[in-house]
Amino acid sequence: MADNGIHLAPYAAHPEQSRGRNYHEAPPSYRSEYQRDRDRIVHSSAFRRLEYKTQVFVNHEGDMFRTRLTHTIEVAQIGRSIARCLQLNEDLTEAIALAHDLGHTPFGHAGQDVLNECMCDYGGFEHNLQSLRVVDELEEKYADFRGLNLTFETREGILKHCSPDKAEGLAELGQRFLQRRQPGLEAQLANLADEIAYNNHDVDDGLRAGLITVEHLCEVELFRQQHEQVNKLYPELAGRRLVHEIVRRMINVQVTDLINTARTNLVREQPDSIDAVRGMDGALIRFSNEMNEFNLELKRFLRRHLYQHYRVQRMTTKAGRVIRDLFTIFMAEPKLLPPEFARQFVESESEAGRARAVADYIAGMTDRYAILEHGRMFDPAALTW
């Protein structure tokens, strides 16, 4: 069977076999169900806001660094390329990739960590669940339903991980976490495309910012191997061209390893449908053991030398203060919230529901809007509305 002219393997997600949407809709006339999902995500308000949300560096630190939007596009590109090689559904892979960060707070992981602390007595905050909440509840685009009414398969891919207590409240979508089952291959693929993109591009941004060096990165096997190859082929290459050549080769060897390992797994297991994939004990889309170790080493390096760098820590400390201050004042003074969130706050029957309204508002902010809103609340000289 073909999807956009590409023959889909039996174990791929076939749009005509989708488990459907929460609210029934007539089938699209000139698109597949997953193309419709992708298009709805691209046209959503939350997707547009990714342009001004942080990847590692706070948005106003410089225009050259990646944002959640540029990262998301990179994940979609990597995901589609691998999906085509494995005869998986490119449109579904792209839809999952484009939606996977919609629930991220301003200021990246620092914002999420602080908002989770603020929400610790009210059910916590996790960006993965928030991404699902955005597409299921918070987007307001359609007259017949709240949210974007995406297919089960796209929502399955967005929800990469979930605790058992949260899964119990998610009906069919939460069952795989309770039964320890796998998602479809497109979901597995999008998850690893995300990992490939952020690890390698954080290397690029860290070098650009001068927080890590090429010499220091040569301690990491994955980087060192590509650095040696590039030096052998282009001994005079230096500066940004050297960095780009190394990083693109790092991405290529990881993508190639993922494809080869997945093909071996698929030949061995011979799943004949997406439901057969879901019943597997482990993921079929994964790196080889060697590449997995290389990736773990790279992650450890980035955590120690980039994410914990004092300049990044200064940014994240300031960002955390902004999030904490906003949460505190809105919980104490809900009349300061915009009308739609103030209404959600007032109509909530529990303190947890009221806190969730505040968290929804803060999580939807961009970096610069959060900074501006903080100034409005706490700077007497900021007289703008």
pLDDT by 10s per residue, the chain, length 385: 455 556 899 999 999 999 999 999 999 999 999 999 999 999 999 999 999 887 665 544 544 467 899 999 999 999 999 999 999 999 999 999 999 999 999 998 889 999 999 999 999 999 999 999 999 999 999 999 999 999 999 999 999 988 888 998 898 999 999 999 999 999 999 999 999 999 998 999 899 889 999 999 999 999 999 999 999 999 999 999 999 999 999 999 999 999 999 999 999 999 999 999 999 989 999 999 999 999 999 999 999 999 899 988 888 899 999 999 999 999 999 999 999 999 999 999 999 999 999 999 999 999 999 999 999 999 876 655 5
Whether 238 and 356 share a structural domain: no
Q: How many CA atoms lie within 13 A of 253 on its CB side?
A: 19
The rounded distance, in Å, linking the Cα atoms of 32 and 15 is 6
- 306 and 299 Cβ atoms separated by less than 8 Å: no
- 336 and 330 Cβ atoms separated by less than 8 Å: yes
Whether 266 and 320 share a structural domain: no
Whether 305 and 317 share a structural domain: no
User: So what's the pLDDT on residue 298?
Assistant: 97
Whether 70 and 145 share a structural domain: yes
Whether 234 and 167 share a structural domain: yes
Q: How far separated are the first and last CA of the chain, in Å rounded? A: 55
Residue 132 lies in a domain: yes
Whether 242 and 366 share a structural domain: no
The rounded distance, in Å, linking the Cα atoms of 199 and 78 is 13
The rounded distance, in Å, linking the Cα atoms of 258 and 192 is 9
User: So what's the pLDDT on residue 66?
Assistant: 76
Give start and end residues of each alpha helix (H) in the chain.
Answer: 33-42, 45-49, 68-85, 90-99, 108-118, 127-133, 152-158, 164-167, 171-179, 185-209, 214-217, 221-233, 239-269, 274-278, 289-302, 310-332, 339-347, 351-363, 367-378
Residue 55 lies in a domain: yes
**Domain's final residue, options 309, 329, 351:** 309
Residue 383 lies in a domain: no
Whether 104 and 129 share a structural domain: yes
**Domain's final residue, options 285, 309, 333:** 309
* Structure-block tokens of residue 116: 């989770």
Whether 164 and 283 share a structural domain: yes
User: So what's the pLDDT on residue 385?
Assistant: 54
**Of 139, 48, 137, 43, which is closest to residue 369 (Cα–Cα)?**
48
Residue 280 lies in a domain: yes
- 129 and 103 Cβ atoms separated by less than 8 Å: yes
**Of 92, 166, 99, which is closest to residue 134 (Cα–Cα)?**
99
Whether 9 and 71 share a structural domain: yes
**Of 189, 139, 187, which is closest to residue 19 (Cα–Cα)?**
187
Please give the residue range of the domain that contains residue 316: 312-378
Residue 223 lies in a domain: yes
Q: CA angle 301-104-217, nearest 5°?
A: 15
**Domain's final residue, options 309, 339, 369:** 309
Write the CA distances from 225 to 50, 113, 231, 249, 292, integer angstroms.
Answer: 34, 34, 10, 10, 15
CATH number of the domain encompassing residue 57 = 1.10.3210.10
Secondary structure letter of residue 55 according to DSSP: S
User: So what's the pLDDT on residue 379?
Assistant: 82
Residue 326 lies in a domain: yes
- 102 and 9 Cβ atoms separated by less than 8 Å: no
Write the CA distances from 250 to 97, 219, 246, 247, 370, integer angstroms.
Answer: 20, 15, 6, 5, 35
- 378 and 121 Cβ atoms separated by less than 8 Å: no
Whether 295 and 319 share a structural domain: no
What are residue 3's DSSP bridge partners? 6
Whether 291 and 324 share a structural domain: no
Residue type at 58 in one-letter notation: V
User: So what's the pLDDT on residue 62?
Assistant: 45
**Of 135, 69, 55, 64, which is closest to residue 98 (Cα–Cα)?**
69
The rounded distance, in Å, linking the Cα atoms of 372 and 385 is 10
Residue 384 lies in a domain: no
CB atoms within 10 A of CB 314: 11
Whether 250 and 323 share a structural domain: no
Residue 84 lies in a domain: yes
Query: How many residues can be counted in the chain?
Result: 385
When divided into structural domains, the chain yields a total of: 2
User: So what's the pLDDT on residue 64?
Assistant: 46
Residue type at 22 in one-letter notation: N
